[in-house]
Chain A
Amino acid sequence: MKLTRRLLLATPLAAAPLAMPFLSRGALAATELSVHYPMPSFFKDVMDKLAVAFQKENPGITVRFPAPSPTYEDGLQQVIRQAATGGLPDISFQGLNRLRFLAERDIVVDVAPLLAKDGDPAKAGWTPGILALAQVGAKQTGLTFSASNPICYYNANLVRRAGGDPDKFPTDWDGVLALAARIAALGDGISSMHYRWPGDDWMFSALLYGYGGHMLSADETKVDFGQPGLHALQLLDRMVKVGKMPPLTSEAAFQAFYAGKLGIIMGTTAYIGQFQKSIGPQVELRTTRMPIITPGGKLPTGGNAVVMLTKDPARQQAAWAFMRFAAGPVGQTIMVRGTGYVPSNTLTLHDDRYLGAFYRENPLFRPAEEQIPLMQPWYAFPGSNGVRITQTIVDNLARIVEQRATPEQVLADMTAQVQKLLPRA
């Protein structure tokens, strides 16, 4: 299997230089695109399949993958380094919340003109909402490739033991926290729940958006957590006080979940594959939608977008063809089947040629798909302190989870600390 895939990939590569002299005289010029992507453990198989399918449809273009980066952070660093020293790939897959950083430094190409030339994007499956995920100001920095939203995982066995009905998992926070408390009361080293707050501000923004809040004022000069921010922190506080959530690191929480010792985990839908592989026999894995906070509440979008880096107009044509393909129905079908992400193309959803049947047969993947209408962009802070602000928020959340400070205190400190890290006008 591996060998054939490699061969398929390598054959056009090897043939390209041989074909060059003939092609250059003709109208057709063979283009070799270099495509960089992160997290090979998630994406290697997907990318290999994508390249094969793309090259079959576009015989003039071959796709080459330089070494992939282990994480989004590494991928971003590599592109930033290469932007300074040369050797940028033509295309890269970058984390959605880092697009702003790349756009503010003019490293990515604005594809809005190319998109406009192709006619109505909605006909190609890209609704305004999907396109917005990869927009920074007026710039279309790329096309969303894999999108994720937070979902709720639970071990049906523990829910049953705690007297709950796994088929009727509570849909509001009061119900979830009451169930969590009953799971914690089982004893025997069993923990109730883990809300994946460490790592970054993504899950905090899920609470904030749930209350209809936002990070900054509309002109992005002032921190504006406001009442929704306070409510979000109070909900986190209740997870600890009412839901008996222990202050675990995410790794420790996952290990406990795999061992059947933790009831509920809330985190990105992208964990599905990893959880399915890692759970022990005593775990009956189920997924469901996030509990509803307020009726109009939204959820943040994680994942990545495919962006164009080449500034050469001839190569841009080939790069655009690849981007359209990756974000198109065929590319999205390959991506969803190989990961746990949701598609960012509306053509795929109910069509049995693409993902229609897949979602009927794989109920674990369904909650994320059902939440697509709730998705809004993962907010990226302006200026160069984005990651630092993220870390500041996480550090402050830790104070609540460890019960060292009240939500009111944390809100005041967090507001002051984040404000200091914003660019001064």
Chain B
Amino acid sequence: MSEAARLPAALEPRLQSRLPWRLHPEAMAGLLLAGPAVLALTLLLLLPTAALLVLSLTDMELGGPPLRWIGLANYAELLGDPGFRIALRNTLVYVAAVLPLSVALGLGLALLIEGGTRGRAFFRAVFFLPVVSLLVSMATAWEYLLHPTIGPLNRALAAFGIAPVNWLGSSDWVLTSLCMIGVWENLGYVVVLFLAGLTAIPPELRAAAETDGARRGWDRFWLVTWPMLGPTTLFVVTITAIRCLRVFDTVATLTQGGPNKASEVLLHEMYLEGFTYFRIGYSAAITVVFLVVVLGLVLLQTRVLERRVHYQ
């Protein structure tokens, strides 16, 4: 402002028209401050996404002949590809099983830990351990636990007279087994998020509810805790859904999608197409589908649920 004030009066309108930003230092500062983030977002997210969209319209093959423009042919092939359909279906089944289970169990555990008097830090750490452990190395442990003949799980079941189950080798069970591991993997994360949400609820609210006649813990949960946890729950559900959609490492290390594609999932299929079969264009098309599913899910959750969860 002070600089503008020093300019001769006759010059001012001309400058104003040519360099409008000059008169808005705040706008300038805003652009400067946002600049690095905008640049980073463009370089790291928007441009790669655009490149992905373009690649998905080509027949690019790593090391292959020069790429050709093939329009929507990749997507047409996706529609008719039974492998892709199985992968998509398995991924959705995985999300539908793991998401509600980990959220429900996680909430229950968080309430128990929060309500407990002793060992809170201990239990928090115990349930968070799977999140910080390296899944690829844990896969070896799972492989042993779930081993059909020498695994401890089947031996424990045998004690109850239950016939051994071929957890990872049978196409009937493999997806169930992966879902169990998925719940184990996500539970700690959900617990910690819910614990944070629980501490944010003012204790007076529960005390007031009790005074008003909500004598049982169950009543207080439905009356106070659950509604107040709304925003946390929304966040947990969104994050967990995306984590479930992203399932890859257990599949890659434990089953490689087998037997006979019974545990094939979207990202593993994408990886196979792109980096084992070298079909970059087709792989890009799968990634686009993955992106659309993620975006759709996030939009749905925020649109539908956001309105109901805020109690201000």
Query: Which of A's residues lie within 8 Å of B, judged by CB?
Result: 73, 77, 80-81, 83-84, 105, 107, 189-191, 198, 246-249, 251-252, 255-256, 259, 261-262, 384-385, 387-388, 391, 394-396, 398-399, 401-402, 404
Say whether, besides A248-B169, A398-B171, A402-B170, A198 and B258 are in contact (CB < 8 Å): yes
Check A189 against B143 for contact (C-beta < 8 Å). Answer: no
**Given that A77-B62, A384-B279 are known contacts, is A402 also in contact with B149, CB under 8 Å in the complex?**
no
Interface 9-mer from B231-239, B270-278, B296-304 = B270-278
B261 at the interface (CB under 8 A from A): yes
- Of listed B164, B254, B259, B261, residue having the most chain A CB within 10 A: B259
Shortest Cβ gap from B103 to chain A (Å): 30
Q: Once the chains bind, are B63 and A255 in contact (CB under 8 Å)? A: no
Which 5 A-B residue pairs are closest in the complex by CB-CB distance? Answer: A80-B63, A398-B259, A398-B260, A189-B149, A395-B260
Cα A43 to Cα B164 with chains together (Å): 39
B21: interface (CB < 8 Å): no
Could you tell me if B64 and A384 are in contact, using CB atoms closer than 8 angstroms?
Answer: yes
Can you list 11 A-B pairs with a CB-CB distance of less than 8 A?
A77-B62, A107-B63, A246-B149, A247-B169, A247-B170, A248-B148, A248-B166, A252-B169, A256-B149, A398-B259, A402-B171
B144 interface hit (Cβ, 8 Å)? yes
Chain A's nearest CB lies how many Å from the CB of B257?
9
Give the residue among B144, B169, B256 with the most A Cβ atoms within 10 A. Answer: B169
In the complex, the chain B residue whose C-beta lies closest to that of A391 is: B272
Q: Which residue of B lies closest to A191 (CB)?
A: B149
- Given A256-B149, A385-B277, 12 new contacts (CB under 8 A): A77-B275, A81-B62, A189-B149, A246-B166, A248-B169, A249-B169, A252-B169, A261-B149, A384-B277, A402-B170, A402-B260, A404-B171
* Interface status of B61 (Cβ within 8 A of chain A): yes
Residue B283 CB within 8 A of the other chain: no
Chain A's closest residue to B158 (CB) is A189
Decide: A259 and B148 in contact? CB cutoff 8 A.
no
> Does the CB pair A255–B150 fall under 8 Å?
yes
Interface positions, chain B 121-149, Cβ under 8 Å from A, are 143-144, 147-149
Chain B contacts with A in 174-233, Cβ cutoff 8 A: none
Interface centre among B64, B261, B275 (most CB of A within 10 A): B64
Write out the residue numbers on chain B whose beta carbons fall within 8 Å of the beta carbon of A402. Answer: 170-171, 259-260
In the complex, what residue of chain A is closest to B262 when comparing beta carbons?
A: A398
Contact across chains for B279 and A198 when beta carbons are under 8 A apart: no
B contact patch SS: loop
Bin chain B's interface residue count. Answer: 20 to 34
Asked if B259 and A190 make an inter-chain contact with CB atoms under 8 angstroms apart, the answer reads: no
**Complex CA distance for A83 and B61, rounded to whole angstroms:** 13
Q: How far is the CA of A232 from the CA of B72 in the complex (A)?
A: 40
A84 to B143, CA, bound (A): 39
A83–B64 alpha-carbon span in the complex (Å): 11
- Do A255 and B169 touch across chains, with their CB atoms under 8 A apart? no
Assess whether B170 is in contact with A252, with CB atoms less than 8 Å apart: no
**B44-80 interface mask toward A, CB cutoff 8 Å, 1 = contact, 0 = none?**
0000000000000000011110000000000000000
Q: Are B149 and A83 in contact (CB under 8 A)?
A: no
Of the residues B63, B150, B164, contact of A105 by C-beta under 8 Å: B63
Instruction: With CB as the reference atom, state the residue of chain A lying closest to B253.
Output: A251
Residue of B63, B171, B279 with most partner-chain A CB within 10 A? B63
Given the known interface contacts A247-B170, A251-B143, the answer about A261 and B276 at a Cβ–Cβ threshold of 8 Å is no
Residue of B nearest to A392 (CB): B83
B276 CB contacts on chain A under 8 angstroms = 73, 387
**A-side contacts of B99, CB under 8 Å:** none
Q: Residue B168 at the A interface, CB < 8 A?
A: yes
B255 close to chain A: CB less than 8 A: yes
- Chain A residue numbers with a CB within 8 Å of B171 are 398, 402, 404
Contacts of B278 in A (CB 8 A): 77, 80, 384
Expressed in whole angstroms, the minimum distance between the Cβ of B68 and any Cβ of chain A is 14
Cα–Cα, bound, A391→B261 (Å): 10
CB–CB A398/B149 < 8 A: no
Evaluate whether A198 and B259 lie within 8 angstroms (CB atoms) in the complex, with A77-B275, A252-B168 already known. yes
Q: How far is the CA of A153 from the CA of B88 in the complex (A)?
A: 39
Bound together, the chains give a CA A198 to CA B257 distance in angstroms of 11
- CB B274 to nearest CB in A, in angstroms, measures 10
Nearest CB in chain A to that of B146: its residue: A252
Cβ-defined contact, B147 with A256, below 8 A: yes
Residues of A within 8 A of B64 (CB): 105, 384
A78–B149 CA distance with the chains assembled, in angstroms: 39
A246–B63 touching, CB < 8 Å: no
- For the complex, what is the distance from the CA of A255 to the CA of B143, rounded to whole Å? 9
CB distance from B43 to the nearest CB of A (A): 19
Closest to A189 in B: B149
Determine the chain A residues whose CB is within 8 A of the CB of B168 once the complex forms. 249, 252
Q: How far is the CA of A245 from the CA of B275 in the complex (A)?
A: 33
List the B side residues contacting A248 at CB < 8 Å: 148, 166, 169
Indicate if the CB atoms of B261 and A395 lie closer than 8 Å. yes
**Given A105-B64, A387-B277: A247 touches B259 (CB 8 Å cut-off):** yes
A404–B260 CA distance with the chains assembled, in angstroms: 11
The one of A247, A251, A398, A404 that contacts B166, using a Cβ cutoff of 8 Å? A247
In angstroms, Cα B164 to Cα A385, docked, is: 38
Given contacts A190-B149, A191-B149, A261-B150, contact A249 B63 (CB under 8 A): no
Partner of B62, one of A80, A190, A387: A80
Q: How far is the CB of A236 from chain B (nearest CB, A)?
A: 13
Determine whether the beta carbon of A259 is less than 8 Å from that of B260: no
Inter-chain CA distance A73–B277, complex, in Å, is 10
Q: Is B63 within 8 A of A252, CB to CB? A: no
Chain A residue nearest to B260 in the complex (CB): A398
Taking A246-B166, A248-B166 as contacts, is the C-beta distance between A259 and B150 under 8 angstroms? yes
Q: Which residues of A are found within 8 Å of B61, using beta-carbon distances?
A: 384
CA distance A60 to B205 in the complex (A): 83
In the assembled complex, the Cα of A248 lies from the Cα of B164 at a distance in Å of 13
Cα–Cα, bound, A107→B255 (Å): 33
Contacts of A252 in B (CB 8 A): 143, 147-148, 168-169
Chain A residues, Cβ within 8 Å of B63: 80-81, 83-84, 105, 107
Given known contacts A189-B149, A384-B61, is B277 in contact with A399 (CB within 8 Å)?
Answer: no
